[in-house]
Amino acid sequence: LTACSSNEKKEEKFTSEADLYTAAEEQLEHEQWEVAIKNLQKLEEHFPFGAYAEQGQLELIYAYYNYGKPDEAIATANRFIRLHPQHRNVDYAYYMMGLSSFTKDKGMFERAMPTDMTKRDPGAARESLANFTQLLNRFPESPYAADAKKRMLFLRNALARYEIHVANYYFKRQAYVAAISRGRYVIENYPQAPATPDALAVMVQGYHLLGMQDRSKEVLEVLRTNYPNFPALNKNGEFNYDYAFENHERNL
| 167-214 per-position pLDDT tens digit | 999 999 999 999 999 999 999 999 899 999 999 999 999 999 999 999
Radius of gyration of the chain (CA): 26
Across the strands, what pairs with 239? Answer: 233
Return the H-helix or E-strand segment holding 18: helix 17-29
pTM value is 0.79
**If we measure between CA atoms, which residue out of 30, 87, 100 comes closest to residue 56?**
87
Give the residue ranges of the chain where pLDDT is below 70. 1-15, 105-121, 243-252
Residues 202, 178: Cα–Cα separation, whole Å: 10
> Residue 129 in 3-state DSSP?
helix
CA 82 to chain centre: 21
Specify the pLDDT at position 251. 53
DSSP 3-state percent helix, strand, coil across the chain (nearest 5): 70, 0, 25
As a whole number of angstroms, the distance between CA 170 and CA 206 comes to 10
Residues in CB range of 68: below 8 A, 6 or more apart: 108
Q: Are 187 and 214 in contact (CB under 8 A)?
A: no
Q: Is the dihedral of CA 156, 145, 137, 88 positive or negative?
A: positive
